[in-house]
Structure 1
Amino acid sequence: MTPFQITFHYINNKREIEILENSFLEVNEQIDLYEKQFSNTINSYLKSRNEELGSLEKRYEKIEQEAQKRYDEALSTEKPDDQDNIAYATHISGIDHIMHNKYEEIEKIRLKYSDFLDLFSKSTLVSIYSLNENFLNKICDIASQIFNQKIKVTHFNSRDYLKASFDYLELVIDIPKEPFESTISKLEKIQKVRNKIIHAGSQMTGESILEFVKTYSDSFHYNEESQFLRVISPKFTSEFFGLIKNLYEELLWNLEEKQNYKTLKSILENWYGLMEGKITITEIDTKKTSEKIRTIDFKAESDNAKIPDFYGKLTLTSSKGYLVEIINQTDNAIIEEFVQADKDGIYLEMGLKAFMTFNKNLDIRLLIY
């Protein structure tokens, strides 16, 4: 098989991406766009702030040197420790006035960028939370179509979209809520903060909100007198992106399990389609063995008499994200030729795109036996 023949085959036998898989790919694109915009803007913010502070320091450097020279000249060499002499030298040199002005200008710059960080971070938080609510609602609608459910998430008639979505997934689609409880708890607290930002001008009250703010004291500052919440670091917003990505990754795997791994079967059958004959994935199961490792075990059958039934263990490991390893332990020449044709796993990785989209650092290892 030549590289051209391989490419030609996969182009002409492109697998159709279904609505559920596509929805996760689309929302990840939106998250990536928001995350890139946030990161670029914050980096630009830090650069501009540091440039302004550096420029101010440079401008005052010469002024301070001249003031220091006047101070030294005015200070009597006979009594340099005399308080009257020090007071006179300080006054005549203007050094106190210069330092006061410098301090005011520094604080003005810091406040300007602090206000920007606060407003931009809150705007991003509100936008991402709204995206999250809309996506969860969309997934519920798609799930109702896939699993032929007449009950829709709108029948729950709740203004709390977060609660309604997970209640729907658990009670109607039979996706257990338990694996998501920790994430749901965090999202509920973020929801309260988000509501206060929108409806109360960032004035925060309530024990649960204050506890949340205290937990993330490195990202928020709470003024007890004015009850105003200010964002002082981009750290929490960056972690928020990671939180919803982890949520969607787990949600995708749970929905895939619920539909008996229909998408994974399609991906593997399409990939193995380069071999002559029809390959059918007859058994498949997945396990998350740790926070970083997920395995997919499967059995494949072929209508080609020259290809016996074989098994596969696909391992996805959160690591560096550039290792793809395919190991063939069968003695079958056709399977070996196929493995050599895509030994870098390019087309396998392309097929698994949706399942890798929320974690770009997944290493792939496939054992065929």
Structure 2
Amino acid sequence: MHEFTYVNLSYKVTASAIYRNISVLLHYLNFVMAKWGEGDPRWIVEERADATNVNNWHWTERDVSSWSQDVINNLLLGIRVEGEEGSCEITDVSNIDGEASINNRKGKLIFFYEWIVKASWTGTNKIGIKYKGTVEIPNLSDENDMDDLDICVTLCKDQPSTPLTNLMRREGVNKIRLALGNYVKHLKTEFSQGMILPTDNALNKQNQEPQAKVKLDKTQTESSSTGDYSNTGVKIPTVSFSLKDTFLTSPEELYRVFLNQGMVQAFTHLAALVEGCSGGKFRLLEGNVHGQFAELIPDQKIVMRWRFSSWPAGHAATVILNFVNRGSETELILEARGVPSNEEERMKEGWQRYYFDAIKQTFGYGARLC
């Protein structure tokens, strides 16, 4: 008679860890099948333009854990809601535990992320009494839709009961869910770039297209090169305009939004380059907007040389942002000079939609409700 001993073993295994182990196995199988199945088009691997022998076929992985922690922190910190009960704001993100990665398999991108997030919030009622609480998000992962996300809002144990808890559970949770949804969108745009690389044929085609575009742009510039020139080197009629908007945050925080690369990427939902210093360059919205910071007065003023990529080569508008303290709010006054006259409405709409409205929606800086 045989005797058996049963041992109960418990392991904590994340989805990303499982897929990392699978990736090792897939690398080995790809090698074996490429040799065993020579002549089979499903397994022959073509030399790629960067000289690596993958052709978008083998499993490749990119770790985006550190970037994810920074973005989640920036998106959650400062979320603010107001109501009849008073106001609530996330004041600290104490823990972001987990991992995230992007994987390419046979030219298809697979996103993995698993996070446990803990934050603190502070509420202030109408007579100025402050309360403190916590927010816990135990299941931010690729396996759960944003609507299925568990967001637990509680008061600290030493705090008396307050209607502000319901305000945070009602309005705060919605903003938290929106912010984390932006993280996922951003994850799938910025770090997916470069994961699928072209073959030699595709790369040659891409190289030919920019050359053709350069020739076209040069012809267009030469054809309009008569008459007097402005200091930008391009003769075009220009206009000036101004915009104003109010943000429910301090000048210091709003100023930082325009110069912090992570925050710019958060409200544009796309990869961006932002060198937040005087003379630093910026490029955002997939390169459709780019320029340079000409002057910076901390928390008060930003002067930019700003242009759409479709504008005539060498021409840029001057955009001045003035941050005016209005107590609990900041009035942002934009002055734009040297704007091509046929681009005025497009630029106004772009600044309102892709800067002002997007910043309010992403960071919760919407105007105070009456």
TM-score by length of 1: 0.28
* Structure number, greater radius of gyration: 1
Q: Which has the higher helix share?
A: 1
Q: In proportion to residue count, which structure has more strand?
A: 2
